[in-house]
Structure 1
Amino acid sequence: MTSTGSQTAAHLAAHDKDAGQILTLEVGAMAHGGHCVARHDGRVVFVRHAIPGEIVNAAVTSGGEDARFWRADTVSVVRPSEFRRSHQWKLADSIRAHASGRFPVGGAEFGHITLEHQRRLKAQVFRDTMTRIGKLNVEAAVVGIAEDEPTGLHWRTRNAFSVTSTGRLAMNVHRSATVVPVRNIPLGVRQLDALQLWDIDFTGAARVEVATPAHGEEVLVVIFPLEAVASNKKQLEQHIAQWRKRMIHLPAKVSVVVGLRSEQFGPLEMVRLRGRTWLTEVVETEEFGSHTFRVSGDGFWQVHRDAPSTLVEAVIHALDPQPGQVIADLYAGAGLFSKFLADSVGNSGVVLSVEASPGASRDARKNLHDQKQAYVINGLTDRIIGSWLQRPQAPVANGGLDGRRVNAVVLDPPRAGAGRATITRIHQLAAEKIVYVSCDPASFARDTKWLVEHGWEIEDSTIYDLFPDTYHMETVTTFRPSATLRQSRDSE
């Protein structure tokens, strides 16, 4: 059970003698992860809720003589930046939180920075990360979403909550099991607040995930029981009965399911309390038409309301798919890119939609069922590509490529990136183009370094600000074979 309530500097100091002390720091550059770099007596201090160029008073949250670096939260500002504004979310505001004897919740690390300057900082972080990890000088423009509010609020369609010991929805303090009850989520779409889920007793749950699509009135609530509840059949049945009763007042289009997983990476079993175990997402683009997608409770979907259409347009423009081509869509999820790519390659082309999650692959099969040129392949990406390389003449259903060559690759891996083995196998496909969609500049920089070592070069890279008021960013980068790599291929 997670702890709830205020956690003062004195409480921290009982566990870490350096925690709680106040340092006056001149703030340096923004680093990946939402903190700025400062120094105190020669020691690196990562400071959250500051802006480069400021002088702040910061409370140490993690220290120690043997620590390689310390962490600290801004508690007051001595010399503010011209780009500082009132924080957009009270519970995530470090200054107000510490004044109240508690720590801020995570999730809105840039809420105190003007939106325009947030984007400048994200460009700087991307550039610095590519230099430090990727050993490359890469400049990328930051593109915002035109419909976003100037405050950077009300864009998030997927929200995950912890649950307090009294059954109330809560958010975690940064890097802590401590939770703080919430009664609104300013980053969430307005539809979320209207549900008033804060008034429901979720006792017996470890966490609750809520999906509120940008189009339509459907909502899907997934309740994940505490391990002790999930492992006790009688307790689970009792809690399910209680949860079902407590959901009666919700609007008719709100579906509620209980998510059960028998093993850590096994498929998710969904027990339906009301409504459906999935919801509908509509993706409308200006140039490439629109499609409707089914997304299950255990499926992946982009969290910004306009991210799907934005990324579809970016990926298709970057790939420039042609009729008859073979395109590998790796880490394809519910088939977002695959669906639109299948339109582009036509009946004479092939889209290989590869996804490791059984639930997401199940969604993809339903979403792509009417496009015979799209093949959904469930399995680990590096193993699937390995099979293509070993048995290219075999039918796709038997792990091959039907004797065809992959013309282009799009990959949208999880935050950890693709990894060296998968990058090597993608290179071995000898495609004409790779489009890499990334949500983490550090893992992207590592993967880019390996692609460059194999002879690829960056043609274009764009940062999309799909996570306003947070440090997160999404990048779409196009890679082409270098002249040296092309010559090597021609000589084979």
Structure 2
Amino acid sequence: MTEKPDWTGRRLEVEVGPVAHGGHCVARYEGRVVFVRHALPGESVIAEVTEDNGGGFCRADAVEVREAAPGRVVPPCPLADIALGKDRCGGCDFQHADGETQRELKAAVITEQLQRLAGLDWPVQVRELPGGLLRWRTRARLAVDRKGNAGFRPNRSHRVIPVADCPITVEGAVEAIADRRWRPGAELTVAADGEGELHVTALDRKPQRRGRQQAVARQVSGSGVAHETVRGRGFDVAAQGFWQVHREAPETFAEVVARFAAAPAGGVAWDLYGGVGLFAADLADQVGPTGSVLLVESSHRAVEDAVANLRDQPQVAFRAGTVERVLDDEELESPDVVVLDPPRKGAGRQVVDGIAARAPARIVHVACDPAALARDVSLYADKGYRMVDLEAFDAFPMTHHIECVAVFEPVAEDA
């Protein structure tokens, strides 16, 4: 039996190829694929192998740049310095690239995923959100090391790198956590809301009998309820609940979704994975008092917040439960328009089938993962729906993450 290779710790000089989904680029060495982080297409780098399971690929970090690409810049965060090797913070993938290059890389990823997984050739341009590359993030999660220091983890590691600040997070958010000691092993979340209030929550893990642990949440600062304003409407959301992390994303996405949805007056709209009502608010305005909107959300707390946020719009009904289970209800009124914002894994076959069975005239699909979006595009196509529009946004600068809003309509019978 041939022994599997293990290149862990080995340094390889490689020519860097195209960007791949996940924040790395593809290189090849001695017939094997090497996924290299902190590199750019076209560069020549020295890459140190960080993970090798002996298969057809391994993972590596660029530790020296022999020939730089035009888009390379000095990272603004010292914890993204290429010289740190394994001690680099794992939160950002593209701090070594300028903004234009980052958006080009993300567009290439979306294009490749749509072509490979959905067989769709679609030119993509990733739009920049207002505010630039830094100080855009309003929510963050940190871990606590054995000494009680708060920090972030390296890529694919459980270690904790203590931090004093994070340049992509809004001013003062991380500093409020970093200047004190915490219970070792705790997890911390910080949320800066639209009114400037800082909400810090600690999740302490306390030992129980037989080695078990109990997670106990403790509100450290703030009320625990974030107050946001989007398109002139106020929204209250639990500081630990879901809300877009880029300060400009809720306003932008609400406008785009409303424009794409164009629900008819007196019509029926569904808002699946509806959260605290961000998209349902505009859908309710579009259908008016004679129409109806159904908001479906699995988080009972989010549904409670949505009911309070939209109490002036009686045409909105609320269902707490999984989308899959709610779609099994045969008594639901079929919609003219469906908006859905599924989790990172995407909608999946059961949800797509359930939506298509009700034959809406338009589906507006919000996606935060291009691979999941491409798989869903293929599922929609199987049910007779084609993608007719797509807008992509750099809602997570310095990282590999992307937000897309896609529109689907039924394929004409004579097409």
Query: Is 1:87 the equivalent of 2:67?
Result: no
Distance across 1 between alignment mates of 2:68 and 2:277: 46
SS in structure 1 at match of 2:181: coil
Q: Number of paired residues?
A: 411
Match of 2:234 in 1: 292
Partner letter of residue 92 of structure 1?
A
In the TM superposition, residue 148 of structure 1 has moved relative to its aligned partner by: 2.0
Query: Is 1:222 the equivalent of 2:169?
Result: no
Query: Is 1:96 the equivalent of 2:83?
Result: yes
> Any gaps of 5 or more consecutive residues in structure 2?
none
Distance across 2 between alignment mates of 1:274 and 1:199: 14
1:275 and 1:41, CA in 2 relative to 1: closer, same or farther beyond 3 A?
closer
In the TM superposition, residue 205 of structure 1 has moved relative to its aligned partner by: 5.1
Find 1:117's aligned residue among 95, 101, 116: 101
Superposed CA RMSD in Å reads: 2.1
Q: Is the 8 A contact 1:48 1:109 kept in 2?
A: yes
Find 1:197's aligned residue among 177, 189, 197: 177
Name the TM-score, length of structure 1 as normaliser: 0.80
Distance across 1 between alignment mates of 2:206 and 2:371: 33
Query: Is 1:166 the equivalent of 2:147?
Result: yes
Q: Is the 8 A contact 2:268 2:335 kept in 1?
A: yes
Partner letter of residue 116 of structure 2?
R
In the TM superposition, residue 298 of structure 1 has moved relative to its aligned partner by: 3.2
* Residues 73-112 of structure 1: CA deviation (Å, up to 9, x unaligned): 000001100110001211123x1212xxx43111210110
Alignment of 1:213-362 (within 5 A): 213=193, 215-228=194-207, 260=216, 272=219, 275-284=222-231, 290-362=232-304
Partner letter of residue 38 of structure 1?
A
SS in structure 2 at match of 1:292: strand
Distance across 2 between alignment mates of 1:205 and 1:46: 30
Q: Is the 8 A contact 2:38 2:94 kept in 1?
A: yes
Match of 2:379 in 1: 450
Distance across 2 between alignment mates of 1:180 and 1:229: 27
Distance across 1 between alignment mates of 2:399 and 2:262: 31
In the TM superposition, residue 134 of structure 1 has moved relative to its aligned partner by: 1.5
SS in structure 2 at match of 1:376: strand
1:464 and 1:409, CA in 2 relative to 1: closer, same or farther beyond 3 A?
same
Alignment of 1:408-487 (within 5 A): 408-484=337-413
Q: Is the 8 A contact 1:206 1:224 kept in 2?
A: yes
Distance across 1 between alignment mates of 2:120 and 2:207: 49
* Residues 167-208 of structure 1: CA deviation (Å, up to 9, x unaligned): 221101101111100110111011415x53211211155200
Find 1:129's aligned residue among 113, 121, 135: 113
Partner letter of residue 71 of structure 1?
R
> Any gaps of 5 or more consecutive residues in structure 1?
1-15, 237-258, 261-269, 285-289, 392-399, 488-492
Distance across 1 between alignment mates of 2:224 and 2:137: 20
SS in structure 1 at match of 2:173: helix
Q: Is the 8 A contact 1:325 1:349 kept in 2?
A: yes
Match of 1:38 in 2: 27
* Residues 228-258 of structure 1: CA deviation (Å, up to 9, x unaligned): 27999xx99xxxxxxxxxxxxxxxxxxxxxx
1:88 and 1:380, CA in 2 relative to 1: closer, same or farther beyond 3 A?
same
Distance across 1 between alignment mates of 2:24 and 2:220: 41
Determine which structure has more spread, i.e. the larger CA radius of gyration: 1
1:204 and 1:363, CA in 2 relative to 1: closer, same or farther beyond 3 A?
farther
Distance across 1 between alignment mates of 2:310 and 2:182: 36
Partner letter of residue 222 of structure 1?
T
Distance across 2 between alignment mates of 1:294 and 1:229: 35
In the TM superposition, residue 275 of structure 1 has moved relative to its aligned partner by: 4.7
Range 338-347 or range 82-91, more displaced: 338-347
1:410 and 1:25, CA in 2 relative to 1: closer, same or farther beyond 3 A?
same
Distance across 1 between alignment mates of 2:16 and 2:26: 6
Q: Is the 8 A contact 1:409 1:435 kept in 2?
A: yes
Query: Is 1:188 the equivalent of 2:169?
Result: yes
SS in structure 1 at match of 2:350: helix
SS in structure 2 at match of 1:196: helix
Find 2:50's aligned residue among 61, 83, 100: 61
In the TM superposition, residue 61 of structure 1 has moved relative to its aligned partner by: 0.3
Distance across 2 between alignment mates of 1:175 and 1:317: 39
Q: Is the 8 A contact 1:89 1:108 kept in 2?
A: no
SS in structure 2 at match of 1:39: strand
SS in structure 1 at match of 2:378: helix
* Residues 393-423 of structure 1: CA deviation (Å, up to 9, x unaligned): xxxxxxx33xxx3100011001000111111
Q: Is the 8 A contact 1:298 1:359 kept in 2?
A: no
Match of 1:207 in 2: 187
* Residues 348-396 of structure 1: CA deviation (Å, up to 9, x unaligned): 1111111011221121122122211111211010111110xx22xxxxx
Match of 2:37 in 1: 48
Distance across 2 between alignment mates of 1:341 and 1:441: 25
Find 2:62's aligned residue among 64, 74, 95: 74
